[in-house]
Structure 1
Amino acid sequence: MPYFESPVDGTRLYYADHGPADGPVAVFVASSYLGHEMWEYQTLPLAEAGYRCVAVDRRGHGRSDDVWSGYDLDTLADDLNGLLDHLDLRGATLIGHSVGTAEVVRSLTRHGSARVDRVALVAGVSPGVVRSPNLPEGIDPAAVRADDELFRRDRPAWFNATADDFFAVQRPGNDVSPAYVHHLIDRCLVATPRASDGIRAVVAALDLTEELPALDVPVLVVHGSHDVFAPLALTGERAALLVPDAVLKVYENGGHGLFATHAGLLTADLREFLESGRASDTAARQAAVAGR
């Protein structure tokens, strides 16, 4: 199985690497609690179309090591950059979902974009969702603490109680089978209690208001109109305004789990975004040849 060691503390981290080794590279960073499997509706068709799709399990998630420490945004971002270094990836497109968007942004602001050409922020919690000086309209921290207590008391019950809202099943077209929901909850429960608490703390403290304007690559922001976990006005719309070179695509009726409910649309938009990067590279090479 493919593993690499965290450059921070040597934690063994798992990644999936599918598609042709010489194809354009897309690196996927999953949501809280989930591992690389959540991206199956994107990585499989994109790999079949000739893209190299790399998806990482963050520490304490999926098949990566169960460790006590390192659940802070800097360490998680360093882990992600360590994967890029380990595989010596160039011209990569980083694609994050939910808290994965924060890891992507922090990785770029800490390590630069030498290995990264483009970024996609999917149903992101960036720049932040909890009330803070930069986000006075955010969620009440007291409500977050109360939800944390429910989560710690009974994680399986919490996932079951929030599944319908996660997929926005009350909205038209958002059909997910009970079997799939059960599967995804099982995958969420693979994340250790320590890792789960740590990631929740990252989201509660998140404020990337000052970092998003520093991104120096094209950014695609994809968000659902009915995302109750990362409300559009707090996150996707704000992120698109803060990033200098950003395009916002809003999926009507989409919830947080749009990677499943809007799988085909998301995959098509990601492929178009990847293709635009390939076209830019080709044009640059042609211009360089013509200038010789």
Structure 2
Amino acid sequence: MGFVTTKDGVEIFYKDWGPKDAQVVYFHHGWPLSSDDWDAQMLFFVEKGFRVVAHDRRGHGRSSQVWDWHDMDHYADDTAAVVKHLDLKGAVHVGHSTGGGEVVHYIARHGEDRVSKAVIIAAVPPIMVKTESNPGGLPKEVFDDLQAQLFANRAHFYHEIPAGPFYGYNRPDAKPSQGIIWNWWRQGMMGSAKAHYDGIVAFSQTDFTEDLKKITIPVLVMHGDDDQIVPYEDSGPLSAKLLPNGTLKTYSGFSHGMPTFNADTINADLLAFIQG
């Protein structure tokens, strides 16, 4: 564990576990969480002999709570700073939700020289918000409402998301885990309200279409068809079509939080893709 300071003076917290000469798997967390959300994956892969790396996005977790520049360009540049600091080569980058957008934008913006493969899980690309070119997207009012709820009572809002749609705990046959719910809340409340408020714009309005077209390395697109946060039809299949070397894997009944809720399945499929 350590920190790297970016060009604009932001301290980015990162974890770096495992043998330094092993294959690197780099994990990118979703909004508004931290690298802790990858516990199930990082423990699994480090025990398999991999080197695992993950950082807390600016304004999230243990990274600096700066008030500005919470956008995909800076998220991608922060990733590049960690990669350069650790001199990572041939890494497999894995991103969940907003982290999937971060992975896509990082590779498109900084090139493929240090990357071998990528995985995006329940990820926000190509674009979430409804526009003329994306008629199937969610209305901007949906994201405006998220900002309003965060502004009004962030602590309550951050309980209701994991207790409800994030893990599918609002489904009739669900069996909520209070540990999972409170761990989500804990991670969210560690970060900056301002960073999270601005981050809603970053993950919903960034158009990753051209980024996806630029990426030539193999990319696995994993998405559950019961995702209530990033709807399946307007994300996973569209991203896979735009990627020159993309493969879509659809999970029946899986929620947005499938890396945690369905860790055994996700870990096995990640391992197969990385070793394939």
TM-score interval w.r.t. the shorter chain? over 0.9
AA in 2 matched with 1:166:
F
1:180: how far off?
Answer: 2.1
AA in 2 matched with 1:5:
T
1:161: how far off?
Answer: 2.0
Give the Cα–Cα distance (whole angstroms) in 1 for the partners of residues 249 and 171 of structure 2: 18
Give the Cα–Cα distance (whole angstroms) in 2 for the partners of residues 239 and 252 of structure 1: 18
AA in 1 matched with 2:224:
G
Q: Is residue 2:47 matched to residue 1:53?
A: no
Q: Which residue of 1 aligns with 2:229?
A: 229
Q: Which residue of 1 aligns with 2:189?
A: 189
Q: Equivalences for 1:17-28 in 2 at 5 Å? A: 17-28=16-27
- 113-122 or 131-140, which moves further after superposition? 131-140
Q: Which residue of 1 aligns with 2:258?
A: 258
1:176: how far off?
Answer: 4.5
Q: Is residue 2:93 matched to residue 1:94?
A: yes
Q: Which residue of 2 aligns with 1:281?
A: none
Q: Is residue 2:204 matched to residue 1:204?
A: yes
Give the Cα–Cα distance (whole angstroms) in 2 for the partners of residues 239 and 140 of structure 1: 19
- 143-152 or 239-248, which moves further after superposition? 143-152
Q: Which residue of 1 aligns with 2:39?
A: 40
Matched residue of 1:167: which SS? coil
Give the Cα–Cα distance (whole angstroms) in 2 for the partners of residues 173 and 95 of structure 1: 30
Give the Cα–Cα distance (whole angstroms) in 1 for the partners of residues 159 and 80 of structure 2: 33
- 160-169 or 73-82, which moves further after superposition? 160-169
Q: Equivalences for 1:162-181 in 2 at 5 Å? A: 162-163=161-162, 164-170=164-170, 175-181=175-181
Native 8 Å contact 2:124 2:204 kept in 1 = no
AA in 1 matched with 2:186:
D
Gaps of 5+ in 1: 277-292
Q: How many residue pairs were aligned?
A: 275
AA in 2 matched with 1:212:
L
TM-score, reference length from structure 2: 0.96
1:158-206 alpha-carbon deviations (Å, 9 max, x no partner): 1222222100125588655112211221111111111101211102312
Give the Cα–Cα distance (whole angstroms) in 2 for the partners of residues 216 and 133 of structure 1: 27
AA in 2 matched with 1:155:
R
* Aligned-residue identity in percent: 33
Distance 1:47 1:172, change over 3 A: farther
Give the Cα–Cα distance (whole angstroms) in 2 for the partners of residues 118 and 14 of structure 1: 23
1:102: how far off?
Answer: 1.1
Q: Is residue 2:2 matched to residue 1:2?
A: yes
Q: Is residue 2:10 matched to residue 1:11?
A: yes
Higher-Rg structure is 1
AA in 2 matched with 1:113:
E
Q: Which residue of 1 aligns with 2:67?
A: 68
AA in 2 matched with 1:4:
V
Native 8 Å contact 1:168 1:253 kept in 2 = no
- 140-149 or 254-263, which moves further after superposition? 140-149
Q: Which residue of 2 aligns with 1:113?
A: 112
Distance 1:172 1:261, change over 3 A: farther
